[in-house]
Amino acid sequence: MKSFLLQLFTWWNGTTIGTRVFTARKGVRVGEDEFGNVYYKTADGSRRWVAYNGVAEATAIPPGWHGWMHHRVDVAPVDETYQPRAWQKPHRANPTGSAAAYRPQGSILASGSRPKATGDYDAWTPGG
């Protein structure tokens, strides 16, 4: 019951009821990526969409599928033998807002204390 209510009232938690109905009526399954996201298109290929595995986060789409989703390439990654170059790193989702986010030295959320101001800056104090 809880999962049904989440799908009914939230758009960020997997696919919505409307997307499921549209996919059942008009969707043609194209493939699945290594993260479990499933990709669909209409029969004429004019529309393409993804059913996310978990939270609907656009940065969870790998580069090959991103190009296909945005009509930059016509061939889906499952239909070609693409080999990444030696210098290409594996895809990572955007960690912003999570515990894995980058927090530089001096950030409020970073551990430790903020470094003192340097140079000719003097902090203002009231009445001083």
State residue 29's pLDDT score: 97
Decide if 120 is inside a domain.
no
Model pLDDT, residue 50: 95
Give one DSSP letter per residue of 96-127, joined into a string: TTSTTS---TT-TTSSS-PPPP-SS-----TT
Establish if 123 belongs to a structural domain. no
Q: What is the pLDDT of residues 57-103, one digit of tens each?
A: 888 898 889 999 999 999 999 999 877 788 988 888 888 888 888 88
The whole-chain average pLDDT of the chain stands at: 85
What domain range is 27 assigned to? 2-79
- Residue 124 is assigned to a structural domain of this protein: no
Closest among 38, 28, 34 to 90, alpha carbons compared: 34
Contacts of 73 (CB under 8 A, 6+ apart): 67
Share of the chain above pLDDT 70, in %: 92
Residue 31 phi/psi, 5-degree rounding, is 175, -175
Total number of domains constituting the chain = 1
- pTM of the full predicted structure? 0.72
Asked if the structure places residue 126 within a domain, the reply is no
Within-domain flag for 21: yes
Does 110 fall in a domain?
no
